[in-house]
Chain A
Amino acid sequence: MKNIKSLKEFLPDLEENLKKYRELLLANLVMIGETPAPTFDEERRIKFILNRFDEAGLTDSTIDDSGNGVGVLASKEDKEEKRAILVNAHADTIFSAKTDHTMQISSDSITGPGVADNSLGLAALVTLPYILEDLNIELKNNLILLAGAKSLGRGNLEGITSFLENNPYEIHNAICLEGIQLGRLSYSSIGMFRGEITCRVPEGYDWSRFGDASAILTLNEVINKINDMRLPRRPRTSIVMGTIVGGTSFNTIARDATLGFEVRSESQEVVEKAAETIQDIVMEVSSKTGDQIELDIFARRTPGGIPYAHPLTSCARSVMESLDIEPRLAPSISELSALIDKNIPALTLGITVGERAFKTNETIQIEPIYKGLAQIIGTIIAVDGGYCE
C-alpha cells in the first residue's frame, strides 16, 4: 500500500477476510480467558502466550524480568532495524484465581470473567502474527507484541513501565488493545492517584464503651469528609470510591475497615491538591476518634498525551472512518500513561462491543470483532508505512 488512500480502500475487504480466523482467535480467547491471571500471579497465562509466540515463529520471544510476555515480529526488510511499533495488551485481571473462569460461547457472543478486560485484547495480540503472515502483510518496522504483567490496581503498570525502561528497541509508536468498546480512541492520559484508607480500632481500646467505637463508623466519617471536598468543574475532576471492606460479623464491632478510591483530574495541580486534602482529612479524623487511620497511595499518573490533531490520532480516525467505526474519544489511565511518560505517541483502541464489564458474566459480541481487528491491523500498517508522521 502506497498511501493512506489505498489503505482505506483495502480495509473493508480486510474486515471480510478476517472472518476466516474466527476459530483461531476464539480458541485463543477461550484458552487465555480460562487461565486465571490475577495481578501479580499472571505466570501461567503469560507462559501460554509465550507458547503461542514461539509457535508463530516470533524472534526474541521471552518472559522478561518483570514477568511480561514479549514477542517480536522482526522487520522483513532490515534485520538490523531497531525501529519498532509496540502493540500492548495487559495480561492481568481483577478476578481472583478462585473465580470460576469458564467461558461460555453462543452463536454470537462469549461470556466469562475478564473476557473483555482483557482476554480479547490478548487473544488479538497472539493471533496477530498468524494473520499478518497468512495475509502476506510484511512490515518494515519490528512489531513488538507485549502481554504486560502487573498492570492493574496495585500492579501500577509495573510490567509495561519496566519493559519501556529496559528494551533495546526504538519504539516510535504504540497501540494498546482493550477488549471493549469498539470505537474507543484514547490518546491522552488524565492525572490520577489511587489509594486505600484503612481505619483500625486500637488494640488497647476500652470495649466496655458499648457501641460507640467501630472502624466502619470512623471510615464513614472519612468518606463523608471526602465527599464534601469541593472539586472544580473545570478542569474536570472526580473521585471514585470503588471498594469498601470491613468488619467480620453482624454482632462484632468492626476492628478494621478499608476504602479503595481513585482521584482523577485533567489537571495535575488539582490532583496534588486533592491528595493533600485527603491527607488532612485522615489526620483530622484520626486525632478526633483516636483510631489509627492509614493512607496508602500506591499509584499515580500525570496528565499528558498527544493532541487530537496528532498524525497518529488522525491516521487512526481515518482507519476507523473507512470501517464505519464511530470514534469515542476518552482519556485513559491505563498503559497509555506509561507510554505518554516516555513521550511515545500512543493510542488505546477497543475491539468489540460488550457489556457487564468487570462482572463475572462480562459479555462480548463476536461479529464486531472483525471490524475491531481490521482497525488494529489498518492502524499498524499506517504507522509502519509512515503515514502517521
Chain B
Amino acid sequence: MSNLQPWIKKNTYHHSEFWDLKKLIEIKEKKGLTISLCLPTLNEEKTIGKEIIIFKSELVERYPLIDEIAVIDSGSEDNTLEVAKNFGADTYLASNILPDLEPKRGKGENLWKAIYQLKGDIIVYVDADISNIHPRFVYGLVAPLIYRDKVKYVKAFYDRPLSFSGNVRASGGGRVTEILVRPLFSLFFPELTAIIQPLSGEYAVRRKVLEEIAFPIGYGVETSHLIDVYHKYGMEAFAQTDLDKRVHENKPTIDLGKMSFGILQTFIKRAKALGVIDGADHTTILRQFQAKKDQYEQNLIEIIEEERPPMIEIDEYRKKFKK
C-alpha cells in the first residue's frame, strides 16, 4: 500500500483555514450550491437550543452559509422538539418522513431520511449533544466541499490530545476508534486509516453521494459510509477537518460495547461482500496517529502475532511425558 502521508497533507485541514466566511459564501453562491444542516436528535433538550441559536445567528443571519436548519427527531420524550421549534429550526419526527416505510429507530434512520426531507446539494450532519458548539462545526466541514469540486465527503476530527514529551502527541480518536475501528481498517482497508477520527458524528456530504449509499440505522452508519464511499470513489473523495475541542458527555464502557457490536456487524457485512476477509493477505502493520505541532503523521507499528503449535506436537514433550 502506498504511503498515506501525501494524502493526509493534501486533504487534512484546520477549521481556522476557513475563517473568511464572506469568501466562502461568495464561492458557494457562484457555484449555485445550497446547504442543509441536519441535527439528528433523541432527548437533547439541554443542548439543542444553543446549537440552533449559534448556527442560525452566525451562519444564516450574519453569514448566509446555511440555507436550511432541520432537526430530525427519533421520538424524544423531553422538550427537544419544542425548544428547537421555538428557536426557529424546522422540526421533523423521523417516523413522519416517508411514512409508508416500516419505521425504524436509530440515528442512521434520521440521517437517511434527511436526504429525502432536506433540499440542499450538501447536507452537513452535526450531533445535537455538543456543549461547546461553535459555527466552525459547520463551516469547517462544508468549506472543502465548496472550494474543491472533487471532494465529496468531509469528516470532522477533534481533541488536540494530551501533550507528550518531544512535542509528539497521540492523536486521539475515541476509545472505540482506537480499540476496534483502527485495527480493523489497518487489517482490511489500510488506506482508510488516514481518516483520523472515523467515528466522528459530524460530516458534510454531497447529495449525489448520499443518495447512492446504504445507511445502517444504528451504530454502524459512520463505518459503512467510509467503506462504501471509499469503494465507490476512492480516497480522493475524502477530506477531513480539525475542529479543535468537542465537549460532550462521555459514554460508559458498557455502551461502547453495544456500539462496537453494531459497528462489527456492519463491518463484517461489508468486508464479506467486498471479499476482503477471505482473500486478503493481511498486513501486520497497525496504523495509528501522532501529531507533531500542527502536522499529523501516521505511526506504523508492526505487530506480528506469531503462534506456537499445540505442545503435543513437540517431540521432546511427548518423550518427557511418554505420550
Contacts and interface: CB of A to CB of B under 8 A. Distances in A.
A107 B86 contact: yes
A55 B58 CA distance: 12
B132 interface: yes
B300 interface: no
Contacts of B88: 23
B131 A105 contact: no
B87 A23 contact: yes
A102 B131 contact: yes
Contact of A27 (B45, B53, B83, B132): B53
B131 A24 contact: no
Interface residues on A, range: 10 to 19
B82 interface: yes
A239 interface: no
Given A23-B61, A24-B61, A24-B62, A106 B45 contact: yes
Contacts of B86: 107
A24 B57 CA distance: 5
Interface string A1-30: 000000000000000000000111011101
A23 B57 contact: yes
B132 A105 contact: no
Contacts of A30: 50, 53-54
B49 interface: yes
A64 B271 CA distance: 61
Contacts of B57: 23-24, 26-28
CB-CB nearest 4 A-B residue pairs: A27-B57, A105-B49, A23-B57, A107-B86
A27 B54 contact: yes
Given A27-B53, A107-B79, 12 more contacts: A23-B56, A23-B61, A24-B57, A27-B57, A31-B54, A34-B132, A55-B62, A102-B131, A103-B50, A105-B53, A106-B49, A107-B82
Interface in B28-51: 45-47, 49-50
B49 A102 contact: no
Contacts of B82: 107
B247 interface: yes
Main secondary structure of the interface of B (DSSP, over half): helix
Contacts of A55: 62
Residue in A22, A23, A28, A107 whose Cβ sees the most chain B Cβ within 10 Å: A23
Contacts, number: 47
Nearest to B48: A105
Interface of A: 22-24, 26-28, 30-31, 34, 55, 102-107
B46 A104 contact: yes
Interface of B: 45-47, 49-50, 52-54, 56-58, 61-62, 79, 82-83, 86-88, 131-132, 134, 247
B83 A106 contact: yes
A107 B89 CA distance: 13
A319 B134 CA distance: 37
A107 B80 CA distance: 10
A65 B197 CA distance: 43
Q: Tell me what chain A mostly uses at the interface: helix, strand, loop, or mixed.
A: helix
Contacts of A105: 49-50, 53, 83, 87
A40 B45 CA distance: 35
Contacts of A31: 54, 134
Contacts of B247: 102
Contacts of A24: 57, 61-62
Nearest to B247: A102
A26 B131 contact: no
Nearest to B50: A105
Contacts of B53: 23, 26-27, 30, 105
15 contacts: A23-B52, A23-B88, A24-B61, A27-B54, A30-B50, A30-B53, A30-B54, A31-B54, A31-B134, A102-B132, A102-B247, A105-B49, A105-B87, A106-B49, A107-B79
Nearest to A127: B57
A102 B249 CA distance: 13
Contacts of A104: 46-47, 50
Contacts of A22: 87
A102 B51 CA distance: 12
B60 to A, nearest CB: 8
A53 to B, nearest CB: 14
A126 to B, nearest CB: 12
A103 B247 CA distance: 12
Contacts of B56: 23, 27
A26 B79 CA distance: 19
Nearest to B63: A55
A129 B298 CA distance: 48
B80 to A, nearest CB: 11
A23 B56 CA distance: 7
Nearest to B47: A104
A26 B61 CA distance: 13
A103 B46 CA distance: 10
Contacts of A34: 132
A34 B62 CA distance: 20
A107 B132 contact: no
Contacts of B47: 104
B168 to A, nearest CB: 27
A31 B131 CA distance: 12
Nearest to B86: A107
A23 B87 CA distance: 8
A17 B248 CA distance: 36
Most chain A CB inside 10 Å of its own CB: which residue of B57, B58, B79, B134: B57
B304 to A, nearest CB: 45
A107 B49 contact: yes
B76 to A, nearest CB: 14
